[in-house]
Structure 1
């Protein structure tokens, strides 16, 4: 008698990984985004999900939210607007009585930031505020709602290397990863974990805005021991959901690589 070992463990009967959890998910813009799949999987694993968006993308996020297994409210949050951050906890309380997890899936850099030697400070400063400092800002804004055992999870693109075409966004990701370590240090005594998932390249709206992104698409699968599908955001999303769950109770300040193994390979 043989046992089928190919069954997806997340489909097994039993207690859901995020049963009763309240999760804030930023960055849902299209169904191809990692954030969308985090929201979907979180709901499937028993969580109550609240989404954020802002400005002209609000209507897009509200439309995409209808494709989730369950309706999810969308509240406005521009992480570069201190007023939005200051009022975030109060506005969240209209939908949930607390938070058990936050997904930071926020990044932006002006076009000039993708030319390293020519990038202006104004462009770099914008990229740093929105893509790195925002992790600290979001953590501070949501901390009043989080009890011991809560988790913050962010998305990064391995910042150990000087990648082609990534330029100042790569520097920003290095700052983002350092920010995560300090968030882990300062919120750890309150029982709040902070970890990152370093995903391989995914063909999302954000990725398509990076000049020359196809260079990653063309080579990543060849370098990854496990292979890599740039159209599949689910593996990275599953890692985020796992880190948002109670299954990593003593892990913080960590970066989990979900890149097919590329980070461990030489050139």
Structure 2
């Protein structure tokens, strides 16, 4: 019996097989879950191709989390493929290049980052709410926003908003029996990371600072934490941020 036997999950953010979301989908299927993926625009075809590398090729539906029409119709479109949902993975983040310069970033750049990377958690939660029942779980991926990291700049601010959004979702969805939690992963060599100028700064030093060590090429620890939170094994945990970073978050330097 798998950890997610009978569960039905919506997983966003599968772009390449290096994506954390890809490995969440892979492990979820191996643990007995039925999975539906999302993508949109020019990346739809890429996601559909990568989806074939999973144990079972899942459906891929179109979802741009900044598009109100996509969100308004999401539940109806999901019902064409899956009758209900037990869990949702939010693995979405985007910021224009200008957002990676804190003092020079424009409001246009910053608002785009916050919309796509923070407000989208609430938007995805409310869009899928009609399909979620008591015991369901929403899980998001973050990069610890307690600090002013080098090069992260306005994306760091967006992640701080994302983490706050998680707490408010936990407050408002808790009475419905729905949990909302985040996994704060250490730096991983994903497509998203490669798009951040200077992200190699994290990769080069993280392993030295992590008491457990850290492998930037291994997304499985972060993916496994997501799977645990999507399962029934954390029934009384919500509003939490689980750090999967080799222990860096607990160190002074």
Instruction: Give TM-score, length-normalised by structure 2.
Output: 1.00
Please, which of 26, 30, 50 is the counterpart of residue 12 of structure 2? 26
2: distance between equivalents of 1:71 and 1:110?
32
Structure 2 counterpart of 1:81? 67
Matches for 1:68-217 after TM superposition, within 5 Å: 68-217=54-203
- After superposition, give the CA deviation of every residue in 1:94-120 in whole Å (9 maximum; x if it has no partner): 111100000000000000000000000
Please, which of 251, 254, 260 is the counterpart of residue 237 of structure 2? 251
1: distance between equivalents of 2:66 and 2:121?
11
1: distance between equivalents of 2:165 and 2:50?
30
Secondary structure of the corresponding residue to residue 103 of structure 2: helix
- After superposition, give the CA deviation of every residue in 1:144-163 in whole Å (9 maximum; x if it has no partner): 00000000000000000000
Q: What is the number of residues matched between the two proteins? A: 253
| Structure 1 residues not aligned, in runs of 5+ | 1-14
Shift of 1:71: 1.4
Please, which of 26, 30, 33 is the counterpart of residue 44 of structure 1? 30
2: distance between equivalents of 1:169 and 1:75?
27
Greater C-alpha radius of gyration: 1
Secondary structure of the corresponding residue to residue 164 of structure 1: coil
Instruction: Give TM-score, length-normalised by structure 1.
Output: 0.94
Secondary structure of the corresponding residue to residue 73 of structure 2: helix
| Structure 2 residues not aligned, in runs of 5+ | none
Secondary structure of the corresponding residue to residue 118 of structure 1: coil
Structure 1 runs of 4+ with >2 Å offset: none
